[in-house]
Structure 1
Amino acid sequence: MSDLDRHRAEVTAELAIYGWDEPLWLETTAEDPGVGMTKQAVAEGADLVFASGGDGTVRACAEGLMGTGVPLAILPIGTGNLLVRNLKLPQALPDAVRAGVEGETRPIDVGVIDGRPFVVMAGIGLDASMAHSTSDDVKRKIGWPAYIGGLVKHLRDRPFQVTLCLDGRTTLRRRAMMVLIGNVGQVQGGLRLLPDAKPDDGHLDILILAPRTPMDWLRVVGHVVTRSKRYDRRAERYTAARARIDIDPPVLHECDGDPIGYCSTTSISIETEPKALLLRTPRGTDG
């Protein structure tokens, strides 16, 4: 029996405990990581969609479910599972199935970067280069520590010029190594880069990393590890419902851990869709 067949059998058996019949199974492809399959499930009358995969699969399913009124439940089998970890959702299969079937329905925000939805984070610069340099094979073998090699490789990349306009009011100009836009705040290894981020507050949290020297990097690490809220120009945090980011020169960017290449334009639009996704969570949890 293949791993996929075994997984299907386990999920079907767990659903049967609650009186559910065999579910409709729709497999993702390299060309479509789940958006089309999710829309097909909704069109066929699905009352609940389980995303069985990592953050990329969850993101795709969320895109297909936005505004439909059909809730999403997550069976985490990916490398990062960052939305699950941030919201403290169950990671064991029986508990994850139970949360989907018997849990509460909670609306959460969805971020949008140049028309592409995300539920965890979008990154420009260092974060995207790290994701681009980390192979799927290595991630499957050792998990999230695989990203460390990609991070070290790009610590000496050249900074880029960035201009941010936040909510049409505040304008900032920086030479940055990374701009991170988060719907939630925790990344791999349990680090909370955006400690105040909440997935249902109608805003996105933005981190600008602009270290210039090795000593600056040490200060950035200390700032992040201690979750300091003191102002530091090397690691600035802001909150906005929408933003425009102008970049020169074009740099890599990513969406929920998936590299999506270089910015197609020098100006990127970012906004939040408040409570656009319904998510199943265990009863009685804050998340």
Structure 2
Amino acid sequence: MSDLLLYVLIAGALAFAVSSWWGVRKLKAAHARSAVRENAHEHGLEHQRVAVVLNPVKAKSSEARSTIQRACLTAGWEAPRFFETTAEDPGHSQVRAALEYGADVVLVGGGDGTVRVVAESLAHTGVAMGLIPLGTGNLLARNVDVDVYDLYGSVQTALFGHQRYIDTARMRIENSQTGHSSNHAFLVIAGIGMDAEVVGDTNAGLKRAVGWLAYTEAGVRHLPGRRKKVSISLDDEPEQARKIRSVLFANCGLVPGGIDLIPQAMIDDGMLDVVVMSPRSAVGWLAMYAKILFKHKRHLPVMSVYRSGKVVIKCPEPMPTQLDGDTSGDATKVTVHVEPRSLLVRVREDTARQ
């Protein structure tokens, strides 16, 4: 069977699995689990000073604003203070202003990019972050079991729910050809290679129209391609040479569509789950797809999973990177490490007991 035919079959399987509402519901049920292991606790505050970092271009931003205002008024608290992001500043100065305001909790109304920027500044402060999911993926919200389709419920959780500490992770990106380097936080999954190519090549119009399903279309287009040479070092151990299509660094593993990409990944275990993907043909991609979809436990040579607190990837030619679904530039070296229990997040009271 030719590779072209197999790619067509993979595309058909992906389209069926993610476009059928019935199929998605079944997948969600099959992959449902908690991505946390530690118990949550009450925040113990009778009155709260509330700050909100809000992305005003999101479709439900106005509804989110009014819902938060009503909830604070009903609780008898002072009016929440809103800090809107801009195209030039996705949240850095806004979260600093929220902390200067003396907020007891900082609500984040936006997508994964806004959440990541705010979390980067809130880490290690002890100030809680409340999630108001307004984006496409809403990855962190899914992994701490905030209902991404219930705006009122997410506001109630952010203001009145329990809270728990979760891990964050940081990735240093270096490009020896340009001399550029940068440091970034991420919360769910970062990566280098094909996954970043898909993120960068997803059609913006299609993404607005169908949401996270747009990533599937881009993913199918990027299945063909050559493996690239890299060296991988885990926890400062000796480097190992590999040929890869993609390497993922997972703080947790639940993604849209009910798929548990990395079943063992927990967001508060102080470790990263490192997934090295190295398929050479459509057969390898098909085997990986089946393993993830049906949660097979057998080892696949084209998909290796390691657990580590620190990972260093070096590559002779620049490769694209991504952080929680946002492109983050090309790199010839990435250094990733976990920061255990560094961020306080509000969660639902019923899941706090799990």
Q: TM-score range by the shorter chain?
A: over 0.9
Show the 5 A alignment for 1:183-194: 183-194=251-262
AA at the equivalent of 2:327: P
1:201 aligned residue (246, 252, 269): 269
Question: CA deviation digits over 1:162-206, x for unaligned, max 9?
Answer: 211111126432111110111111223222221100010000111
Q: Distance in 2 between matches of 1:3 and 1:90?
A: 15
Q: Which consecutive residues of structure 2, in runs of 5 or more, have no partner in the other structure?
A: 1-58, 173-182
- Bigger shift: residues 57-66 or 222-231: 222-231
Task: State whether residues 36 and 64 of structure 1, in contact with CA within 8 Å, keep that contact through their aligned partners in structure 2.
Answer: no
1:175 aligned residue (229, 243, 247): 243
Q: Distance in 2 between matches of 1:170 and 1:233?
A: 21
Show the 5 A alignment for 1:254-269: 254-263=322-331, 266-269=332-335
Task: State whether residues 90 and 99 of structure 1, in contact with CA within 8 Å, keep that contact through their aligned partners in structure 2.
Answer: no
Runs of 4 or more, structure 1, over 6 Å off, are none
Task: State whether residues 311 and 336 of structure 2, in contact with CA within 8 Å, keep that contact through their aligned partners in structure 1.
Answer: yes
Question: CA deviation digits over 1:7-35, x for unaligned, max 9?
Answer: 32222113322223321111111222112
Greater Rg by CA: 2
Q: Secondary structure at the match of 1:284?
A: helix
AA at the equivalent of 2:120: E
- RMSD of the alignment, in Å? 1.7
Q: Distance in 2 between matches of 1:205 and 1:195?
A: 10
Is 1:103 the counterpart of 2:169? The answer is: no
Task: State whether residues 51 and 58 of structure 1, in contact with CA within 8 Å, keep that contact through their aligned partners in structure 2.
Answer: yes
- Deviation, 1:285, is 1.0
Show the 5 A alignment for 1:10-159: 10-91=67-148, 92-114=150-172, 115-159=183-227
Q: Distance in 2 between matches of 1:188 and 1:126?
A: 18
Is 1:161 the counterpart of 2:229? The answer is: yes
Q: Distance in 1 between matches of 2:239 and 2:166?
A: 28
Q: Distance in 2 between matches of 1:137 and 1:16?
A: 38
Alpha carbons of structure 1 residues 30 and 73: separation in structure 2 relative to 1, 3 Å: same
Q: Distance in 2 between matches of 1:172 and 1:196?
A: 23
Task: State whether residues 104 and 280 of structure 1, in contact with CA within 8 Å, keep that contact through their aligned partners in structure 2.
Answer: yes
Q: Secondary structure at the match of 1:233?
A: coil
Provide the aligned length of Structure 1 versus Structure 2.
284
Task: State whether residues 109 and 132 of structure 2, in contact with CA within 8 Å, keep that contact through their aligned partners in structure 1.
Answer: yes
Q: Distance in 2 between matches of 1:157 and 1:76?
A: 34
Q: Distance in 1 between matches of 2:208 and 2:77?
A: 31
Is 1:277 the counterpart of 2:343? The answer is: yes
Task: State whether residues 186 and 193 of structure 1, in contact with CA within 8 Å, keep that contact through their aligned partners in structure 2.
Answer: yes
Q: Secondary structure at the match of 2:135?
A: coil
Alpha carbons of structure 1 residues 271 and 209: separation in structure 2 relative to 1, 3 Å: same
TM-score for the superposition, normalised by structure 1: 0.94
AA at the equivalent of 1:40: A
- Deviation, 1:140, is 1.9
- Deviation, 1:249, is 1.8
Question: CA deviation digits over 1:223-260, x for unaligned, max 9?
Answer: 21122232222011111011111123211110011011
Q: Distance in 1 between matches of 2:104 and 2:204?
A: 32
Q: Which consecutive residues of structure 1, in runs of 5 or more, have no partner in the other structure?
A: none
